[in-house]
Amino acid sequence: MDAFIRFENISKAFGAQTVVDNLDLTIRRGEFLSLLGPSGSGKTTILMMLAGFVAPTQGRIRLDGREIQGVPAHKRDLGVVFQSYALFPHMTVSENVAFPLRMRGVRKAEISERVTRSLDMVQLGKLGARRPAQLSGGQQQRVALARAMVYEPKVVLMDEPLGALDKQLREQMQLELRDLHRSLGLTIVFVTHDQSEALTMSDRIAVFESGRIEQIGPPEEIYDRPQTRFVAEFIGETNVLEGTVVSLEKGVARLSAGDGRTLLARTDRDLAAGQRLLVCVRPERIAVSDDPGAANAIPVEVADSVYQGDHIRLRLEGDGVSLVGRRDRSRADVPTGTRGYASFAPDDCALVDA
Amino acid sequence: MNAAGLRSAALVLPLVLFLGVFFFWPLATMLTTAVSDDAVGKAFPTTAAALSSWDGAVPPDAAIQTAVATDLRVIEDRSVLGDAVRRLNSAVPGFRSLITKTYRTVRQNDDAPVDLTAIDAQWGDPAVWRGFARAVPPYTDRNLLAAVDLQRDAEGDIRQVGEAASANRIIMVRTFVIAASVTALCAAIGLPYAMLIAGAGGWVRTLLLLAVLLPLWTSLLVRTAAWVVLLQNNGLVNGFLQTIGLIDHPLPLIFNRAGVVIAMTHVLLPFMVLPIYSVLLTIPSNLMPAAATLGANPLRAFRHVLFPLVLPGLMSGSLLVFMVALGYYITPALVGGAEDQMISSVIAFYATGTANWGMAAALGIILLAATLALYAVYGRFSRTPPGFGV
């Protein structure tokens, strides 16, 4: 995969506040990359720099090999889908979608043909004559999408485009977006603060914090092997246990975790004895049993169990530890007050720096 | 009507009364003043009744002639007679001396039957009788016609008044031209200015708003006097232009059309800026960036996106400015020349100068009608398209 968009040493400061700090980021052609992070982490600023509305304080941005810092927004030939869609209220749906083609001087006959094709693609073929105010949120979202893609831009940038939709619609749109991306082979840069959204759609996720990339990689890697505590805690729920490295044998680290407890965790890192680390375990990896011999068994009591529909959330209290577990509904019931052992396989842990 | 209905009717009663007393009643009064013409009818009631069955023969039959004599014999109020004579004389010149002579003659021999042509040969003139007959009905279109430089000739057909007497139409057209130029200038300055305010933030926005609102809070006379100081031949503007070498001789900027338009634009600018500004505030801030990403350069983005959206504000601002400008009186009087007086000054001349309330009211009605017609046109063009939520 070739580097299609490159951010090289990009920094952006507003006054004394640094929003993006010395960023290097490569986006591949045809990739769906999510920029994920809490608000204020600089992800939207990066998108706006790429779109041409914010000039970087330092550094270079290359698009398809060409430096684009000096190119004004209207000449960058990117598609942008804004948070609140930014549809033109005085134009019909068709006129909205035709707008970028008109600006490019496309012939009338071709415009109407391409607009029809675009609207069909987002299943709005019949609503071309309506105005945006007469459409539902999801429909407006699709119009914005059709408008940003009708001129076949090199890249489509999306700034939290699904944020205003309700949960069900959002999940449906996520799948549709993923299908569109796959069928059209588009390069998409998608800004979101919703981790499940990023996990669902992305080829790769870049997790941002305070203007820096904490970790970048495919969703499974981000979820299963977080490299920092921030990533582990930002992406989904996680249990964090502190420990000191005792030894490392064949990729399995042995850590002592206070009061004589020993934790085993698989890792590909090179560790030195005495290093203080955090063991991160996802709730669904924790099993509750009455087997004290299981790996990483910690004696606990089920302090609370909360019904969540498809699963049951368990609060497990042990001696000096508090864990969150998750019980599949197909597995045996563990009522509140049950005493037993919480355990997890060494393969299911991630080790991050404390 | 039930109790609740009565109660709500009682609640809106003050408003209805207010509108009636301060809006509809004066309007109705103005309308009737413009067309009422009862001076002759009041002084010659018997003649009025007799003339209604006049067959057009000259001189008319004895009954009508006697009626004139009867009216002249019984009339006591000299001022009523005076009003009637003035009105008749304006219709047919020479009527004043004719009535005076006839009045004196018929009063000398009280009950004798009269032959008016014997008193004065002028009574044999058909024009005199036709003028009399036309002056008798209590309503007339004379003032309304005069307001647009028309009159009825001796045969009763509508004719243009002579070149020398026709001023109203010119002044009316001038009024609309001045109001239109002020509106255009206000739009040209107001739109960018409102965009500037909407784009600014914090204290800059407050300052810009203050700057445009300040003229509204200043006395009209003070403002106008300030323009005199600024625009006169050795004033600030001319002084500055001469200092930077742009002109050799002072530009005539005051006591002419330029001065009127400048001063009126200054005063009326807030009426343009505020509606546009309030519309701009409702336009989502991401539309222009969206237009840019879709390939529109700033100029085309403005033309295709911002301008159509701001148009309702521009239209209502223009309407406000234009209508207020139509009625301007003091500013043209103070900073304009003789050729820049607007219709209000003519109305003021008739109302306070010659006490011709009929003419003043008629001019007012013509102005009102023209304005309403414009408003109707505006209403037709500014209808909001369906589903357009601004």
Residue A81 with chain B: CB contacts under 8 Å: none
Size of interface A-B (CB pairs under 8 A): 80
Which of A239, A268, A242 lies closest to A255, judged by CA? Answer: A242
Q: What is the spatial distance between Cα A298 and Cα A34, in angstroms, rounded to a whole number?
A: 37
ipTM of the complex: 0.82
CA A100 to chain B, closest CA, distance in angstroms equals: 5
CATH class of A3-233: alpha beta
- Using alpha carbons only, give the angle B105, B110, B115 rounded to the nearest 5 degrees: 55
Helix (H) or strand (E) holding B10: helix B3-19
Residue B293 with chain A: CB contacts under 8 Å: 51-52, 73-74, 76, 78-80, 148
Task: Give per-residue pLDDT as tens, B170-227.
Answer: 999 999 999 999 999 999 999 999 999 998 988 999 999 999 888 888 888 888 888 8
* Spans of all domains in chain B: 1-33, 39-138, 168-381
Residue B290 with chain A: CB contacts under 8 Å: 80, 82, 86, 88
* Burial of A299 from C-beta contacts in 10 A (0-12 / 13-18 / 19+): middle
**Distance spanning both ends of chain A, measured CA to CA:** 34
* In chain A, residues 87-116 whose CB comes closer than 8 Å to chain B: 88-90, 99-100, 102-104
Contacts of A58 (CB under 8 A, 6+ apart): A9, A10, A11
Q: Is A150 helix (H, G, I), strand (E, B) or coil?
A: coil
Q: Where are the alpha helices (DSSP H) in B52-77?
A: 62-74
Q: What is the spatial distance between Cα A20 and Cα A12, in angstroms, rounded to a whole number?
A: 5
Q: What's the pTM? A: 0.78
DSSP secondary structure code for residue A44 in this structure: H
Assigned CATH topology for domain B168-381: MetI-like fold (1.10.3720)
The pLDDT value given to residue B386: 43
- A74:B289 CB<8 A: no
Q: What is the spatial distance between Cα B16 and Cα B14, in angstroms, rounded to a whole number?
A: 5
Under 8 Å between Cβ of A266 and A254: no
Under 8 Å between Cβ of A246 and A262: yes
- B287:A77 CB<8 A: no
Helix (H) or strand (E) holding B313: helix B307-326
Under 8 Å between Cβ of B83 and B43: yes
- B385:A99 CB<8 A: no
The pLDDT value given to residue B384: 54
The pLDDT value given to residue A289: 85
* Residue from A75, A84, A88, A155 whose CB has the most chain B CBs within 10 Å, to mutate: A88
B380 is written with which tokens? Answer: 């037709």
Nearest to A89 among B301, B304, B390 (CB): B390
The pLDDT value given to residue B294: 94
Under 8 Å between Cβ of A207 and A227: no
Nearest CA in chain A to B287: A86
* Residue from A74, A75, A115, A136 whose CB has the most chain B CBs within 10 Å, to mutate: A74
Q: HSE, CB side, 13 Å, CA atoms: give it for residue B322.
A: 22
Under 8 Å between Cβ of A68 and A5: no
CA B271 to chain A, closest CA, distance in angstroms equals: 25
Q: What is the spatial distance between Cα A151 and Cα B361, in angstroms, rounded to a whole number?
A: 63
Under 8 Å between Cβ of B167 and B149: yes
Q: Is B355 helix (H, G, I), strand (E, B) or coil?
A: coil
Under 8 Å between Cβ of B245 and B271: no
* Alpha-carbon A238 to chain mean position: 16
Residue that the structure tokens 């090999």 belong to: A65
The pLDDT value given to residue B93: 85
Contacts of A127 (CB under 8 A, 6+ apart): A93, A119, A135, A139
The pLDDT value given to residue B307: 95
Burial call A305-324: b when 16+ CB within 10 Å, e when fewer: beeeeebbebbbeeeebebb
Nearest CA in chain A to B308: A90
CA A96 to chain B, closest CA, distance in angstroms equals: 10
- A99:B387 CB<8 A: no
The pLDDT value given to residue B383: 63
A167 is written with which tokens? Answer: 């949960």
CA B277 to chain A, closest CA, distance in angstroms equals: 18
Residue B284 with chain A: CB contacts under 8 Å: 84, 86
Residue B297 with chain A: CB contacts under 8 Å: 72, 74
Q: What is the spatial distance between Cα B315 and Cα A146, in angstroms, rounded to a whole number?
A: 33
Nearest CA in chain A to B286: A86
Q: What is the spatial distance between Cα A58 and Cα A153, in angstroms, rounded to a whole number?
A: 26
Residue A263 phi/psi, 5-degree rounding, is -115, 140
- B295:A86 CB<8 A: no
Under 8 Å between Cβ of B149 and B166: yes
Nearest CA in chain A to B301: A103
- Asked if A53 reaches chain B (Cβ–Cβ under 8 Å), the answer is yes
- B294:A100 CB<8 A: yes
Going A140 to A142 to A146 to A149, the CA torsion angle's sign is positive
pLDDT in tens, chain A (354 residues): 578 999 999 999 998 889 999 999 999 999 999 999 998 898 999 999 999 999 999 999 999 989 998 899 999 999 999 988 999 999 999 999 999 999 999 999 999 999 999 999 888 889 999 999 999 988 998 999 999 999 989 899 999 988 878 888 888 889 988 988 988 888 999 999 999 899 999 999 999 999 999 999 999 999 999 999 999 999 888 999 988 999 888 888 889 887 678 888 888 888 888 889 999 999 999 988 888 888 888 888 999 888 888 888 899 988 888 899 988 877 777 788 888 899 899 999 888 987
* Spans of all domains in chain A: 3-233, 237-353
pLDDT in tens, chain B (390 residues): 688 889 988 999 999 999 999 999 999 998 898 898 888 888 898 888 888 888 877 778 888 888 888 888 888 888 889 888 888 888 888 888 999 888 888 888 777 777 888 888 888 888 888 888 888 888 888 888 888 888 887 677 888 887 777 788 899 999 999 999 999 999 999 999 999 999 898 899 999 999 988 888 888 888 888 888 898 888 888 889 988 988 888 888 888 999 999 999 998 999 999 999 999 999 999 999 999 999 999 999 999 999 999 999 999 899 999 989 998 988 898 888 888 989 999 999 998 888 888 889 999 998 889 888 888 888 877 665 444 443
- CATH, domain range A237-353: 2.40.50.100
Q: What is the spatial distance between Cα B62 and Cα B219, in angstroms, rounded to a whole number?
A: 65
